[in-house]
Amino acid sequence: MRRWIAALLLCACGAAGEAADEGLREGREGRFWGALSATAPRPGAVTLTLRLTDAEEQPVEDAAVTAEPWMPAHGHGSPEPTTVTEIGGGEYQVDAVLPMPGHWEIRVEARVGDAVDAFTFPLVVE
């Protein structure tokens, strides 16, 4: 029984790792990989987590990161400034105000020294 549980836990770990990596997408310049996660964002203040890695899936730390929300269908951004705070381990907290429900883009630029990359993450606010 104990061995069976251990095997189950290993399976769960593997599945979680795969799911997390599936969220990673290559940046436009091919320098970094990024994933943006949010828990059921609602109109208003939204907290997102950005994860940055290099091509070897090593966390990218001390990056200068900017994030800009954009609503393509309406051609507008956020009425409030968006802040990005480094959490550590390649994770960055993005605090944005998304006042309307609908399809948003979160346009992210990340820079470490001369290495710059950019992402456009889709985000649905309901």
Kindly list the residues in this chain that would bind Cu ion in the complex (CB under 5 A).
Answer: 71, 74, 100
How far CA 73 is from CA of 97, 101, 104, 105, 123, in Å, comes to 17, 12, 9, 10, 13
Position with the least CB separation from Cu ion: 74
Does residue 34 contact residue 47 with C-beta atoms inside 8 Å?
no
Q: State the minimum distance, in angstroms, from the CB of residue 44 to Cu ion.
A: 13
Q: Which CB, 32 or 121, lies closer to Cu ion?
A: 121
Q: State the minimum distance, in angstroms, from the CB of residue 101 to Cu ion.
A: 9
Q: Which CB, 70 or 116, lies closer to Cu ion?
A: 70
In the chain, what is the straight-line distance between the N-terminal and C-terminal CA atoms, in Å? 43
Q: Which CB, 86 or 99, lies closer to Cu ion?
A: 99
Q: State the minimum distance, in angstroms, from the CB of residue 74 to Cu ion.
A: 3
Q: Which CB, 36 or 71, lies closer to Cu ion?
A: 71
Altogether, the residues listed in the chain come to a count of: 126
| Three-class secondary structure of residue 8 per DSSP | helix
Q: Which of 86, 22, 19, 77 is nearest to 49 (CA)?
A: 86
Q: State the minimum distance, in angstroms, from the CB of residue 78 to Cu ion.
A: 10
